[in-house]
Every structure is written in structure tokens, then in C-alpha cells.
Chains A and B, each alone.
Chain A
């Protein structure tokens, strides 16, 4: 079977969301990277909700910025760490649109901690999607706030030392603790079942936003093979054996009203 025929077969089986732009000029993501799956999930969900034409994506600097080229929706690229600020303003201007951000762990929890605190305390009616790959991907594998204890990165060559660099940050649990949040969940893409679960989380998060109650958040564990120095398959094993025990999957908050 030729390579092309194989691709057609896959698409025939899995379908292709219309909002997912074919990457004709070449695929920018590394082999085995799971970030493009975030784009696919968003495309599938928006299509199912019929909201593709009424949504605005706000993308951070970093690997996730390339996702904005993959989704056929209105989009904004922001300075590093600032998507919640942009999303705040855009949502206030266009309150009937679905406004969501796509950010990395460093972009949200480290440099983006200031806008994150802002939207959490103001209870902005936006959705934040955070891709957690436990590392800074674009810049070549430095330690992130989510790096595991003992994890080797280019800035923790001997492994993350708790005495120097502290402990991994747990976004979904922390965000769930804020009053202005309606929904907070953590998913992963390491198995088809987890993919489907994550998709449900994203759909719920968007639905919560449309209900205009408060902020909704989904964290997604994503593999980063080149910076983890693992094969794509070993990455899936690493997610299961190392990441999920540290970052448990599931819903941490799910309310329909805030009083």
C-alpha cells in the first residue's frame, strides 16, 4: 500500500474536521509531538458545537503558536505569557463568541502567572487550554514549572533538585480552588480513551463559557519526544508511568452556578 493511500484510509476512518487546515506547506511539529492533537480536539469540538465561525483563539508564543496556523478560525498571537489578557479584552468586546487561549505550562504558570491571577480573580468568562509537556519545548528543553522532580533538562542537567528548583506546579488543582472558576480538568493524549475524555473536557469547558458563569480550564498532558530524549512510543510510557502519577487525570471542579 502506498503512503498516500494509507493517509486517505486513516482520514476515511477517523474523519477530518473541516476546521483543521491541511498543512500543505509542511508540518512544523516534531515527530511524535502531541500538541497538534490539541488543535484536532478543538476543531472537532467547535465543529460539533457549530461554533467554528463564532470563536476566537488566542495563542501564546512557543510551540503552541503554530496551532493557530492549523485552525481555520479567527486567531490572535500574543507576547509570551499574555493570552489571558488578550482573551479578557476580546471576550468583553465580543461577549457572544467563544474565546479561548492555548498556552504552554511555562507560558501560563511561569511568565504568564500575572495574567492568570488576573483572569482567575476577575472570573473572566473565557476558556484556558494549557498544554503540559513538563518542559520548555521551542527553546530546546529547559526546566518548566511542571518539570518532574529529578527530571533532566538543559537547565537541570543533574535533574530537578527540590532544594534549588522546588516542585512541579499543579495547574488544574490550583485553578479549581478559585471561586470564579466553573470548570477545571486535566486530560492526556496517551491513549485513544484519554483522547476522547480530553475532548469531552474541552467541550464541557466551551459549554461552560457559553453559559457565561465563569472561567473554564483544561490542562492536557502532551509528549515532547525530542526534549524528553525518548522515542514517541516511550513518551507514551513516560506519560503513563511518570506524568500521570504526578498530574492525575480527571475533573477537579464542575459547577453550573457560582454564588
Chain B
């Protein structure tokens, strides 16, 4: 049993990273993730680990690139506009095959947007985000406990695949205070980082190491095609092995809700309200937003089940669900326009989702 403490999701990210053996954190101020950067500023120097307040989000992600190239577990956190700035280097990390963890505590957009909660970065997180062909595993915590656990998983998966891994949070999950059991999770061995730079004389074989993101230019791969084949193989392996989701009351369900993050908590509450009135609703909660459970949703669609996506944006997850059902069933949506009030403080609440469930059930 680990220590149980009452903290918010953003702080739980910090404890999770510390448990995972993260050695370096780089961050730039942006709301609503400042608690993460501040946690590292307070705790990491005490642990003898590296904390740098970077000069920009570009700086943060490029320092992650550097620290990863030097062979340590490194991470950064940001919110939506900063996330956009990081995309070029994330693409470079995918090419250079560098592990790293990037936390995106989503806020509203487009543009500067409001600094409060939203879930509008699903496309950008799950499609790579930067230029070129690559994918990141995207983990979506829905509780403070999960913030602590998924960031640990993120470090493991990043090392396993030598690829950036994204933790896609949102301002509500990030600022939500809950009791968390802080404990280290063992995931098993990851390959040694014999490719990392540390000075030629410090390698067992005494040969130089080169970390680069050109692929074939410096003969890491014999050709551009072979680099792309490697990336494709990696993407397929991640899709086959790393899909994670939670099924809640789906066994006998006729309507399946699909959601992640804070709206998954809302959807779960709405499922309970529906069940109390005898409506057979269930929930598929995405734990990995990528890989996405296309197969599961397709099977349920072929059984004739209906779908209701609950997400705090105009509609992004809903496109993946529509893609998965292949036109076999209707896909409904409760979106950001269904918030309880029209200001940026508005939320999608269980009542509204329940109303929609009843409307579909009629």
C-alpha cells in the first residue's frame, strides 16, 4: 500500500512521474497546468533531479528531446496552445525514436480560447499532431488516481516503443481533488538505452552514438522506405498491444455511451441514472484515445446497439465512432453546445446526458 493523499490531478501527475523514475522535467507557464510545473519546481530539486523553467513550450519539448537523447526519462506538460507549439519536435522525436512523456491539460480553443476546461485536442493528440507519418499512444485519465497511474504507464510505453507518449488530461481532471494512493507500478523491463549519447568513451564498445531525425541521411536506416517500414511496424504493434478501455454495464446494454476524461465521469453518472429508470445504457470509457477501440465498437454496432458520444468539443471522438460503426447504427452526440450555461465555465452535466439517453430511448 502506498501513501494516501488528498491532491488534485495535476499534482498526481507529478507524483506519478516521480514514481516512474522521471529524471528531468521542463515546463513553461500556461493555465490550466501550472500546478504541474510548480510541483516539479518544488519537489524535483529536493530529489536531486532536473527541473528547468524553459523559455517557451518550444524550449520545453526540445529539452525533452535533449534529455531523452542523453538517456534519461524526461517529460513536459502544457495546455492546448503550448501543445500546438510542441508538434514539430514531437514529429522529430518519432523519427529519431526518442521516448518522452508529454502531458496536455486541455483548455478551450480554437486559438487562445478560454483558459478553462474543454476537450478539443482529441484530433491533434491522436493523429500525431505534427507533420509526417507517426502516431503517439494517447492516455486519457478520468480521475486523480488515474493521473498518477497513467503517467507511470506513459513512461513505460515511451521506453518500450522509443516513441513519445501523450497524457491527454483536461482542466477538470487536472484540478479535481481526490484521494490518491501514491504507489510505484512495476511494468517489467524495458530495453537498455545503449543508443543514448553520453560521450564516446563512456560506451562499452567505445563507438560514437548519433541521435538524429533524418532517418536515412546518416545511415541509421539504409533507406527512407526502411525508416517508414519501421514506423509502420511500430504503429501496428502499438495498435495490437496497447489498446485500453473500461467497459461499464455494457453486457446487456442497448445504448453505449463513449467518452474519455471528465465527460466519461459525467457519462457514467448518466448511465446510472438511466439504469435506475430501467434504461439499458452502458459506457465504453477510452483509456487510450489512440489506439482506439474500432473493433469493439464495430462488433457492438453489428449487434444493433446504438451509440452516444459525450465530449466537450463540437465533435471529434464521434468521427472515430462513426468510422467504426460503418453506417450500421446511429451515432448520437452530446457536445460542448450542450453545456449547462453558455459561458466558458459551463459543463456537460449528467442531467443533460440523461435527457439525451431518454430522447434516444423513446
Interface pair A85/B218, CB less than 8 Å apart: no
Residues of B contacting A86 in the complex (Cβ-Cβ under 8 angstroms): 62-63, 65-66, 69
A257 at the interface (CB under 8 A from B): no
Interface pair A77/B56, CB less than 8 Å apart: no
Residues of A contacting B214 in the complex (Cβ-Cβ under 8 angstroms): 65, 77
B72 at the interface (CB under 8 A from A): yes
Interface pair B200/A73, CB less than 8 Å apart: yes
A200 at the interface (CB under 8 A from B): no
A87's nearest neighbour on chain B, judged by CB, is B66
A248 at the interface (CB under 8 A from B): no
B70's nearest neighbour on chain A, judged by CB, is A93
Residues of A contacting B92 in the complex (Cβ-Cβ under 8 angstroms): 78-79
- Quick one: given A69-B218, A79-B92, are A88 and B52 in contact (CB under 8 Å)? yes
A121 at the interface (CB under 8 A from B): yes
Chain A: interface secondary structure? helix
Interface pair B55/A76, CB less than 8 Å apart: no
Q: How far is the CB of B130 from chain A (nearest CB, A)?
A: 10
Interface pair B70/A94, CB less than 8 Å apart: yes
Interface pair A89/B63, CB less than 8 Å apart: yes
Chain B: interface secondary structure? mixed
Q: Using a Cβ–Cβ cut-off of 8 Å, how many residues does chain B contribute to the interface with A? A: 40
Interface pair A74/B55, CB less than 8 Å apart: no
Residues of B contacting A55 in the complex (Cβ-Cβ under 8 angstroms): 199
In the bound complex, what is the Cα–Cα distance between A121 and B59 (angstroms)? Answer: 13
Residues of B contacting A92 in the complex (Cβ-Cβ under 8 angstroms): 24, 50, 52, 67
Contact with B55, one of A56, A94, A117 (Cβ below 8 angstroms): A117
Q: How far is the CB of A86 from chain B (nearest CB, A)?
A: 3
A122 at the interface (CB under 8 A from B): yes
Interface pair A93/B50, CB less than 8 Å apart: yes
Which interface residue of B54, B96, B214 has the most chain A CB atoms within 10 A? B54
Interface pair A78/B197, CB less than 8 Å apart: no
Chain A window 90-107, contacts with chain B (Cβ cutoff 8 Å), 1 for yes, 0 for no: 101110010000000000
Interface pair A82/B200, CB less than 8 Å apart: no
Interface pair B54/A53, CB less than 8 Å apart: no
A115 at the interface (CB under 8 A from B): yes
Interface pair A53/B62, CB less than 8 Å apart: no
B360 at the interface (CB under 8 A from A): no
Interface pair B62/A76, CB less than 8 Å apart: no
Residues of A contacting B55 in the complex (Cβ-Cβ under 8 angstroms): 114-115, 117-118, 121-122
B228 at the interface (CB under 8 A from A): no
Interface pair B200/A89, CB less than 8 Å apart: no
B203's nearest neighbour on chain A, judged by CB, is A74
Interface pair B24/A53, CB less than 8 Å apart: no
Chain A window 43-83, contacts with chain B (Cβ cutoff 8 Å), 1 for yes, 0 for no: 00000000011111010000001001100111111110010
B88 at the interface (CB under 8 A from A): yes
Residues of B contacting A118 in the complex (Cβ-Cβ under 8 angstroms): 54-56, 59
Residues of B contacting A79 in the complex (Cβ-Cβ under 8 angstroms): 62, 65, 88-89, 92, 213
In the bound complex, what is the Cα–Cα distance between A45 and B214 (angstroms)? Answer: 28
Q: In chain A, residues 23-57, which have Cβ atoms closer than 8 Å to a Cβ of chain B? A: 52-56
Interface pair A114/B58, CB less than 8 Å apart: yes
B315 at the interface (CB under 8 A from A): no
Which interface residue of A72, A76, A78 has the most chain B CB atoms within 10 A? A76
Residues of B contacting A94 in the complex (Cβ-Cβ under 8 angstroms): 70, 197-199
Q: Using a Cβ–Cβ cut-off of 8 Å, how many residues does chain A contribute to the interface with B? A: 34
Interface pair A85/B65, CB less than 8 Å apart: yes
In the bound complex, what is the Cα–Cα distance between A118 and B66 (angstroms)? Answer: 15
Q: In chain B, residues 81-98, which have Cβ atoms closer than 8 Å to a Cβ of chain A? A: 88-89, 92, 96
Contact with B66, one of A68, A72, A75, A85 (Cβ below 8 angstroms): A85
A89's nearest neighbour on chain B, judged by CB, is B66
Interface pair B24/A89, CB less than 8 Å apart: yes
In the bound complex, what is the Cα–Cα distance between A111 and B79 (angstroms)? Answer: 23
Interface pair B197/A76, CB less than 8 Å apart: yes
Chain A window 168-187, contacts with chain B (Cβ cutoff 8 Å), 1 for yes, 0 for no: 00000000000000000000
Interface pair A74/B198, CB less than 8 Å apart: yes
Q: How far is the CB of A157 from chain B (nearest CB, A)?
A: 30
Interface pair A68/B197, CB less than 8 Å apart: no
Q: How far is the CB of A60 from chain B (nearest CB, A)?
A: 11
Interface pair B210/A54, CB less than 8 Å apart: no
Q: How far is the CB of A31 from chain B (nearest CB, A)?
A: 21
In the bound complex, what is the Cα–Cα distance between A52 and B65 (angstroms)? Answer: 23
Residues of B contacting A93 in the complex (Cβ-Cβ under 8 angstroms): 23-24, 50, 66-67, 70-72
A117's nearest neighbour on chain B, judged by CB, is B55
Interface pair B210/A89, CB less than 8 Å apart: no
Interface pair A76/B208, CB less than 8 Å apart: no
Q: How far is the CB of B252 from chain A (nearest CB, A)?
A: 52
Q: Which residues of B contact A (CB under 8 A)?
A: 23-24, 26, 50, 52, 54-56, 58-59, 62-67, 69-72, 74, 88-89, 92, 96, 197-202, 206, 208-214, 218
- Knowing that A93-B67, A121-B55 are A-B contacts, what are 18 other residue pairs whose CB atoms are under 8 Å apart, sorted by A's residue number? A53-B201, A54-B201, A56-B197, A56-B198, A73-B199, A74-B199, A76-B69, A77-B214, A85-B59, A85-B63, A89-B65, A89-B69, A89-B74, A93-B23, A93-B50, A93-B70, A94-B199, A114-B55
Q: Could you show 19 A-B contacts with beta carbons less than 8 Å apart?
A: A72-B208, A74-B209, A76-B69, A77-B214, A79-B62, A79-B89, A85-B54, A85-B58, A85-B66, A86-B63, A89-B24, A89-B65, A89-B66, A93-B24, A93-B50, A94-B199, A97-B199, A114-B56, A115-B59
Closest 9 CB pairs of A and B: A53-B201, A89-B66, A118-B55, A85-B62, A86-B66, A77-B212, A93-B70, A74-B197, A89-B67
